Chain A
């Protein structure tokens, strides 16, 4: 019976023969049932690339598109075992356009097999794979030099490739490398020593995998457990469920909720198989504390010394979305079991995988890797990725599509310092607002150019003023003349433009004012960014809803005429999209009422929400 589990990443460039190698490994370890072999023979005749023979690659290329195109698109998980060990292989694609899939496979691997074609030597892709392997924290690799049959099984070719790879290591960080010459098609040095390469005295690939050390077994580190779920079946039981990420634990031990700093002792370690006298790293448990302290999902229970509580982090980010990553964009930031809003405050460099050097950049495109600083909406307990994959690895989720668009590894932590917190006790916004006889709020007027945003906003402000309320107006056009005059109309600048307007609105909200912003703001994502700057009840999205034909007919500034004539490009509603609000707080259909009636509707809404008395 195997006594351990090893998770192995396999990666290589297009046509390196990676799928063939894995197919061969599975076949020779007896993991391929006879009826699957029969199907394989049939598929080999239909799709195979091995003249007259069995194409083992077809065992692992599972999607119809992969078999038709003869390439691996997505990571596939394969299992086999030997008397010594049970293996999970994450077979990942080599092509650059599928880097995100490779990163998925690498994130959980203890060990990597990097495949190189003996005829081609190290390619840019090999360097990319080695860099990703190193960034993702894999420390042990096998460099499998494949297709040795096509270079006459020559030792000189092998030695040259191995020397080239060793030359990369200075720039890659600490990797322990075992180089093996193989011929995957025939199985040489895969599971049995090659008779063709008597000059090679080292281990076969399978033996190297059997003898590899699984990563991080030390228990001699402080206890860490991200709380996944609060288990409260009734009033008599309150347990905190999670998987122990580091260290060990016994009843009586003291743990701290890292978020609040409050302490408690472990009363019980509950499992269905009975209470435990001790639990350690990797085990799923439910902890009962000896006193009631405030603990919820996302908190980390920890022993001393505690993990840092970050307000901002520096990280390597692998970007995985077609839309590039810009400064100023905000995403859902998931780390451990915590989920907060992370705003990109800086993009410093991009890793050039050809030279393995860093280049200063302002954005990251799909499949690029860069150093990024992210500011967090709430403090997050975390550790450098080199210490903990669980408390140092995070993903970024797009808040509109809900897709995972980036993966990051924490390299630096700026603590959420208490002296930077707003002092809320003495004079705060509610005190200021109270003095003004109102609650502060942002009225965000969005709509096409010429929809009537400024007209209605002006009417609303006049009425508020007449009622003795305190207001401030920010107009998109006017702000561009001053605060934002350094910004153009590129996507990155547009995001920065809105970020500044949102931040300025926030300051006015702090001052206790009702802020009226009229701003086309065509993208939902950007309006969401503005909404996040203030508290939920303080933000009113007001959709000034005028059909584009009507705006064009009105054309108060003659802009539609210019846009239609091609003199203005990227004009919202003409050749750039406007994403209408799906659930605005207030919708003002201008074809159905005069500006005065619509302004009154806004005033009514402010009353019913208690913003004005």
Chain B
């Protein structure tokens, strides 16, 4: 374990404080586990916050059925290793209609992610949902509170956010309201990787460079994960040394050209990169202010 820089200790302390507030104030909390690096850090912080007890809340994974195979393998081994309770939800109606990223574009995200999340939160009667979103990811996230109130139907009203002062988090809810809580709000992508390195936290192998079958589409590197991949005329998979900065559903998350195969190399690459993290998330670029719109509708 390398030394943690002072600012990471401060960020860690803030996140643990927030997680403990959730446990103290919530009636039915849940941690949204998306398997990515931020979720790995969140889970690690939650272990620290409640040690030696087990987590006082279950994990919830919204499975679109289009996650990389490595992600599901990692999810299941993590759950076994930590002995945490995992609940998995898939939008059954969407699955029945075979809603998929190839045929349905952005409505796939709406049905299999946003709608599925709302269903799972409503069915589980969760009052607080903890997520790994960070304010540096996108500009509407930069405006969001740490304890962020959702109105009936899980909607977000950015102009009517509660004042949030000091380290006092108001988790009181009126009828029909729920809360999203973001303990990693003040972390950056570089902080996340530096912390993963310092604390030796396990992450999905897809973050490390390896030879993978790929195709190029609109300037983005798409990794071929299974036989469901649809090729355009003339496309044949080509093996490339690539890794992921951000993980989502496989045909929608682009890989980056990178030889970084260790945590040290990733941290170094992060310090020098000139490209944003979400550049590889194809869903964020379809329209201006698209994240704000999705968030208002209930997306994480």
Contact = CB atoms under 8 A, between A and B. Distances in A.
B279 A33 contact: yes
Interface string A18-59: 000000000000000111100000010000000000000001
Given A63-B292, A86-B7, A77 B161 contact: no
Interface in A380-403: 389-390, 393-395, 397, 400-403
B162 to A, nearest CB: 5
A229 B256 CA distance: 43
Interface string A337-348: 100000000000
A36 B276 contact: yes
Q: Chain A: interface secondary structure?
A: mixed
A74 B273 CA distance: 29
B155 to A, nearest CB: 15
Contact of B158 (A4, A74, A400): A74
A397 B5 contact: no
B186 A77 contact: yes
Interface stretch (B44-52, B94-102, B107-115): B44-52
A182 B289 CA distance: 31
B13 A402 contact: no
Contact of A237 (B52, B170, B174, B273): B52
B188 interface: yes
Given A228-B24, A284-B13, A3 B6 contact: yes
B23 to A, nearest CB: 6
B232 interface: no
Interface in B143-174: 143, 158-159, 161-168, 170, 172-174
B10 interface: yes
Given A76-B143, A77-B135, A393-B166, A232 B49 contact: no
Contact of B54 (A5, A79, A233): A233
B24 A5 contact: no
Given A5-B6, A229-B24, A402 B52 contact: no
Contacts of A231: 50, 52-53
Contacts of A395: 163, 165, 168, 170
Contacts of A2: 5-7
B168 A74 contact: no
B161 A389 contact: no
A101 B163 CA distance: 6
Contacts, number: 173
B20 A241 contact: yes
B13 A65 contact: no
B16 interface: yes
B10 A103 contact: no
Contacts of A61: 139
A358 interface: no
B6 A284 contact: no
Contacts of B135: 76-79
A143 to B, nearest CB: 24
Contacts of A283: 9, 13
Contacts of B9: 282-283
Nearest to A86: B7
Contacts of B49: 241, 284
Interface residues of B, number: 60
Interface string B1-37: 0000111011111001100110110000000000000
A286 B50 CA distance: 8
A228 B17 contact: yes
Contacts of A334: 168, 170
B13 A297 contact: no
Contacts of A272: 47-48, 51-52
Contact of A390 (B11, B167, B279): B167
B166 A389 contact: yes
A1 interface: yes
B63 interface: no
Given A5-B11, A33-B275, A63-B140, A74 B24 contact: no
B54 A104 contact: no
B225 interface: no
B297 interface: no
Contacts of A78: 135-136, 142
B31 to A, nearest CB: 16
A401 B172 CA distance: 9
B158 A63 contact: yes
Interface in A329-357: 332, 334-335, 337
B100 to A, nearest CB: 27
B274 interface: yes
Given A33-B275, A229-B23, A337-B24, 10 more contacts: A2-B6, A35-B276, A63-B140, A86-B191, A101-B163, A229-B20, A233-B52, A233-B54, A272-B52, A402-B172
22 contacts: A5-B10, A33-B279, A35-B279, A43-B288, A62-B139, A63-B292, A74-B143, A74-B158, A76-B142, A76-B143, A101-B163, A104-B163, A108-B167, A229-B23, A241-B50, A271-B48, A271-B51, A272-B51, A272-B52, A282-B13, A395-B165, A397-B172
Interface of B: 5-7, 9-13, 16-17, 20-21, 23-24, 47-54, 135-136, 138-143, 158-159, 161-168, 170, 172-174, 177, 185-186, 188, 190-191, 194, 273-276, 279, 288-289, 292-293
